Structures are given as C-alpha cells and as structure tokens.
Amino acid sequence: MNPEALLQLDRVIHEKGRLAIMSMLAASPELSFTELRETLQMTDGNLTTHIRTLQEAGYVAVAKSYRNKRRLTTVSMTEAGRAAFAAYLALLERIVREAKPR
Amino acid sequence: MEQHVAAEHLQVIRTLMERSALYRRTLAPIMLYAGSVGCVASVGGILLGIDALPAFSIWWLIAALVAIGGSFAIARRQAVEDGEPFWSPPALRVTQALAPPLASGLLLSLGLIAFGGDDLRWVFVLANALFYGCAVHAAGFFMPRGMKLFGWLIIAAACAGVLGRPALGGVATSRPDHALMGGLFGLAHLGYGVYLYATEKRKTSS
C-alpha cells in the first residue's frame, strides 16, 4: 500500500464540509441551499464558503431562481464534479481494500 | 491509519447519500390531518347510515381524496415556507412508491362499486387497508421515522380487524366496517401523528 495514498486524494473534496456537500449532491440531481444547510447543520456563511470553493473547482453549479415569490438557490453537481467524486471514492475504496488481510 | 480514515470517510459518504435521498417534510401535521379526516369519515358514515356498498365505497373514496389533497397542501405549504421546491427528488420518489398500490386499491374499489354486493364491504376494507399498508411501506424506503413499521402495522391491524369482523356484527349493518376504517385510517394515523409530534426535533432558528 502506498503510504502516501491519502495525499493523492482530491484536497478540494477531502475537506469534511465539502465532502458532505458532494456526498449529498451525488445522491440527488439538485438540492436547495436550505436543504443542504439543515441536513448538514452548517451556518449560511460556512456553507456559502464551501460551495464557492467547489464552484471555483468546477465541481458544482449554483442556480438562483424565484419560486412562490421567494428566492430559491439550488446547487447541483457538474460532470467534472461527478468524475472527481467518483475518482475520490475509488481511491478511498482502494485504500480500504488494500488494507484488508489477504 | 490511512485505512481507518478512508473507511470512516466512506461511511460518512454512505450515510449522507442515504440522508440526501430521504423525504424531509414534517410528517406529524400530515398524519394528524389524515387521521382526523379518517375519524370524521368513520363517525359520519355511522351517523348517516351509509350501508350500501357503492355508497360506502364512494364515501370512503371521497374521504381518501380529502385526506390526500389536504396532505399535499400541507406538504406544499411546508416547502414554500422553507423556500424549497415541492417536487424535490425525494418527493418524487415517495410519490412513485405510493402510486402503484394506491392505484390498485382504487381500481379494486371501483370494481366493487360496479359489481359488488353489501356482503363484500369487508373486502373493500381489507383490500384498501392492505394496499395502503403496502404503499406506506414502499414510501418508507424514502422516508424517515418508522414509516415502514407503520405500513406493517396497518397491514397487521387490517388482517386482525377483518378476522375479528364476524364478532362485531353481521353484514346487514355497516357500522363495524365504518369503525374498522376509522380505526385503520383515523385512529392509527392520529396515534402515529401524536408520536411524531412528541418526538420530532424542533427546528432551530437560523
């Protein structure tokens, strides 16, 4: 097992808060800002910062619209984000698999 | 060490992905509303003496429509208040899970209205409770808080109720059938709603 395997993990995704956001988005086509905030128990500022980081990496897309006269912000995973998340998962699984006694 | 961290991360990812797929609307007010409709329909059916199978079926189908329509309205209002889309992916999954058993119950009910006699009222009660229990159980895969168990309880209570039906009276009177429907669709939902209301986490202001 490569001892530096963890260092190969995508640092943008590996941070706890961003990993949580990516995990939720991986299971849903899109999620509202409110849904993410309440499920992950994050503050508005914290969530906004993490989403901006993911957005700058090209991993998520943010859409703003109005529904029932209320502003609705939705976040979805981009194709690049999906590929990066899949690669991240594959590496994690490899680390776990290679650690198992043969 | 790395393996431990990796396994922990995978577990967190799995948990969050599952949670993301869950329907998040508060169920307590929906259950209380549906239970109230069931109880009112039961008492109303007994007081109005709705005995004939077609009238009995139509009465309860109207009650179901009122309960389903009102439940949708409550869920929609919650979504609007939370600034979230009503037809979210979890809401669609729940609806898709509910649809086949509920449609089957409706079809069977329409068949009974068209071709059944009063002696088949118990079939209406049993079939609708079984289909409804299956629908709740299926939706429970996308909902938190014991919905699958509630589905099983409805199914078990329906079987027990119908087995005990002869002891409650002959087929000439519809009172036991209205009472059974009231118990299954009224009291059961009220009880579950009270349980949910008493145990749900209150929203924290943010």
- At B10-61, the pLDDT tens digits run 888 888 887 776 776 778 899 999 999 999 999 999 999 888 889 999 999 9
Number of Cα atoms under 13 Å in the Cβ half of residue B102: 16
Above 90 in pLDDT, residue A22?
yes
Number of Cα atoms under 13 Å in the Cβ half of residue B96: 10
The separation between the first and the last C-alpha atoms of chain A, rounded to the nearest angstrom, is: 13
Candidates A30, A34, A40, partner chain B, best to mutate (most B CBs within 10 A): A34
Cβ of B84 within 8 Å of Cβ of A89? The answer is no
Cβ of B2 within 8 Å of Cβ of A92? The answer is no
Rounded Cα–Cα distance for residues A71 and B84 (Å): 9
Among candidate residues A11, A8, A37, A12, the one with its CA nearest the CA of residue A24:
A37
* Contact yes or no for B54/B113 (Cβ under 8 A): yes
When comparing pLDDT for B172 and A95, which is higher?
Answer: A95
Rounded Cα–Cα distance for residues B81 and B58 (Å): 34
Which tokens sit at B181? 């429907």
When comparing pLDDT for A70 and B115, which is higher?
Answer: B115
Rounded Cα–Cα distance for residues B189 and B176 (Å): 19
Rounded Cα–Cα distance for residues B184 and B178 (Å): 10
Rounded Cα–Cα distance for residues B24 and B142 (Å): 9
- Number of residues written out for chain A: 102
Amino acid, single-letter form, for residue A94:
R
Please state the pTM of the whole predicted model.
0.69
What does the pLDDT read at residue B87?
Answer: 82
Least-confidence region, from B23-27, B101-105, B160-164: B23-27
B65-87: pLDDT as tens digits: 999 999 999 988 888 877 777 88
How distant is the Cα of B25 from the closest Cα of chain A, in angstroms? 11
